[in-house]
Structure 1
Amino acid sequence: MRFSRPMPVFDATPSTGEAADFGDLPEWNLDDLYTSEDAPELTRDMAWLETACADFAAAYEGKLADLDATGMLACVHAYEAIDLIAGRIMSFAGLRYYQITTDSDRAKFMSDTQEKVTVFTTPLVFYSLELNRLEDEALANMFAENADLKRYKPIFDRQRAMKPHQLSDELEKFLHDQSTVGAAAWNRLFDETIAGLQFTIDGEDMNLEAVLNLLTDQDRAKREVANFELARVFEENIKIFARVHNTLAKEKEIDDRWRKMPSPQTARHLSNHVEPEVVEALRNAVVAAYPKLSHRYYALKAKWLGLETMQTWDRNAPLPKKDEKTVDWQEAKDTVMEAYAGFDPRMADIAAPFFSEGWIDAAVKPGKAPGAFAHPTVTNVHPYVMLNYLGKPRDVMTLAHELGHGVHQVLAAEQGELLSSTPLTLAETASVFGEMLTFQAMLAKATTKEERKVLLAGKVEDMINTVVRQIAFYDFECKLHAARAQGELTPEDINALWMSVQAESLGPIFEFTPGYATFWAYVPHFVHSPFYVYAYAFGDGLVNALYAVYAEGGEDFQEKYFDMLKAGGSKHHSELLAPFGLDASDPKFWDKGLSMISGMIDELEAMED
Structure 2
Amino acid sequence: MFTLPLPRPVLDAEPTGGAGAFGALPEWDFSALYAGEDDPKLQDDLAQLDTDTAGFAADYEGKLATLPASALAQSILRYEAMDVVMGRVMSFAGLRYYQNTTDAARSKFMADMQNKITELSARLVFYTLELNRIEDATLDAALAADETLARYKPWIDRVRAAKPYQLSDEMEKFLHDKSVVGTAAWNRLFDETMAGLTFTVDGEELPLEATLTLLSDTDRSKREAATHALIAVFRGHLPLFARITNTLAKEKEIEDRWRGLPTPQAGRHLANHVEPEVVEALRNAVVAAYPRLSHRYYALKAKWMGLERMQVWDRNAPLPDSDDRKIGWDDARDMVMQAYAGFDPRMADLAEPFFTEGWIDAPAKAGKAPGAFAHPTVTDAHPFVMLNYLGKQRDVMTLAHELGHGVHQRLAASQGELLSSTPLTLAETASVFGEMLTFRRLLDQAPDQKARKVLLAGKVEDMINTVVRQIAFYDFECKLHAARAEGELTPDQINDIWMSVQAESLGPVFDFVDGYETFWTYIPHFIHSPFYVYAYAFGDGLVNALYARYEEAPEGFQDKYFDMLRAGGSKHHKELLAPFGLDASDPAFWDKGLSLIESMIDELEAMDS
Q: Under a length normalisation based on structure 2, what TM-score does the superposition of the two structures give?
A: 0.99
- Overall identity of the aligned pairs, in %: 70
Aligned mates of 1:504, 1:24 — CA distance in 2:
43
Deviation >2 Å, runs of 4+: 11-20
Please say if residues 186 and 248 of structure 1, whose CA atoms lie closer than 8 Å, have aligned partners that are also in contact: yes
Superposition deviation, residue 404 in structure 1: 0.3
Aligned to 2:186: 186
Q: CA RMSD for the aligned pairs?
A: 0.9
Aligned mates of 1:50, 1:343 — CA distance in 2:
47
Please say if residues 412 and 566 of structure 2, whose CA atoms lie closer than 8 Å, have aligned partners that are also in contact: yes
2:8 alignment partner AA: F
Aligned to 1:521: 521
Aligned mates of 2:471, 2:387 — CA distance in 1:
24
Superposition deviation, residue 401 in structure 1: 0.3
Superposition deviation, residue 279 in structure 1: 0.2
Please say if residues 350 and 407 of structure 1, whose CA atoms lie closer than 8 Å, have aligned partners that are also in contact: yes
Q: Deviations over 1:241-281 (max 9, x none)?
A: 11110000000000000000000000000000000000000
Aligned to 1:154: 154
Aligned mates of 1:17, 1:561 — CA distance in 2:
34
Aligned mates of 2:126, 2:71 — CA distance in 1:
17
Superposition deviation, residue 447 in structure 1: 1.6
Please say if residues 541 and 594 of structure 1, whose CA atoms lie closer than 8 Å, have aligned partners that are also in contact: yes
Aligned mates of 2:87, 2:427 — CA distance in 1:
18
2:308 corresponds to 1:346: no
Aligned to 2:274: 274
Superposition deviation, residue 105 in structure 1: 0.5
Aligned mates of 1:235, 1:122 — CA distance in 2:
40
1:26 alignment partner AA: P
Aligned to 1:28: 28
| Secondary structure class of the residue paired with 1:308 | coil
| Secondary structure class of the residue paired with 2:287 | helix
2:369 corresponds to 1:369: yes
1:280-319 → structure 2 map (5 Å cutoff): 280-319=280-319
Aligned to 1:251: 251
Aligned mates of 1:386, 1:356 — CA distance in 2:
15
2:432 alignment partner AA: V
Please say if residues 4 and 94 of structure 2, whose CA atoms lie closer than 8 Å, have aligned partners that are also in contact: no
Aligned to 2:398: 398
Please say if residues 443 and 455 of structure 1, whose CA atoms lie closer than 8 Å, have aligned partners that are also in contact: yes
What stretches of structure 2 of length at least 5 have no aligned partner?
none
| Secondary structure class of the residue paired with 1:418 | helix
1:56-135 → structure 2 map (5 Å cutoff): 56-135=56-135
| Secondary structure class of the residue paired with 2:281 | helix
2:465 corresponds to 1:468: no
Aligned mates of 2:153, 2:18 — CA distance in 1:
50
Aligned mates of 1:114, 1:581 — CA distance in 2:
43
1:11 alignment partner AA: P
Q: Which of 4, 8, 12 is the matching residue for 1:6?
A: 4
1:211 alignment partner AA: T
2:467 corresponds to 1:478: no
| Secondary structure class of the residue paired with 1:514 | coil
Aligned mates of 1:6, 1:266 — CA distance in 2:
21
Aligned mates of 1:335, 1:486 — CA distance in 2:
51
| Secondary structure class of the residue paired with 1:19 | coil
Superposition deviation, residue 553 in structure 1: 2.1
Please say if residues 14 and 388 of structure 1, whose CA atoms lie closer than 8 Å, have aligned partners that are also in contact: no
Q: Deviations over 1:432-462 (max 9, x none)?
A: 0000000000000012110000000000000
Please say if residues 72 and 149 of structure 1, whose CA atoms lie closer than 8 Å, have aligned partners that are also in contact: yes
Aligned mates of 1:492, 1:308 — CA distance in 2:
29
Please say if residues 9 and 470 of structure 2, whose CA atoms lie closer than 8 Å, have aligned partners that are also in contact: no
1:19 alignment partner AA: A
| Secondary structure class of the residue paired with 1:200 | strand
Aligned mates of 1:148, 1:74 — CA distance in 2:
8
Q: Deviations over 1:92-130 (max 9, x none)?
A: 000000000000000000001100111111111110110
1:278 alignment partner AA: V
What stretches of structure 1 of length at least 5 have no aligned partner?
none
Q: Under a length normalisation based on structure 1, what TM-score does the superposition of the two structures give?
A: 0.99
Please say if residues 364 and 390 of structure 2, whose CA atoms lie closer than 8 Å, have aligned partners that are also in contact: yes
> Once structures 1 and 2 are overlaid, which stretch shifts more, 123-132 or 12-21?
12-21
Q: Deviations over 1:8-56 (max 9, x none)?
A: 2222553388634200000001111001111100010011111111110
Give the direction of change, closer, same or farther, for the CA distance of 1:48–1:276 in structure 2 (3 Å limit). Answer: same
Aligned residues: 607
2:153 alignment partner AA: K
Aligned mates of 2:547, 2:220 — CA distance in 1:
36
Aligned to 1:561: 561
Aligned to 1:203: 203
Aligned to 2:575: 575
Please say if residues 17 and 391 of structure 1, whose CA atoms lie closer than 8 Å, have aligned partners that are also in contact: no
Please say if residues 14 and 390 of structure 1, whose CA atoms lie closer than 8 Å, have aligned partners that are also in contact: no
> Once structures 1 and 2 are overlaid, which stretch shifts more, 570-579 or 15-24?
15-24
Superposition deviation, residue 513 in structure 1: 1.1
Please say if residues 97 and 106 of structure 2, whose CA atoms lie closer than 8 Å, have aligned partners that are also in contact: yes
Aligned mates of 1:23, 1:7 — CA distance in 2:
27
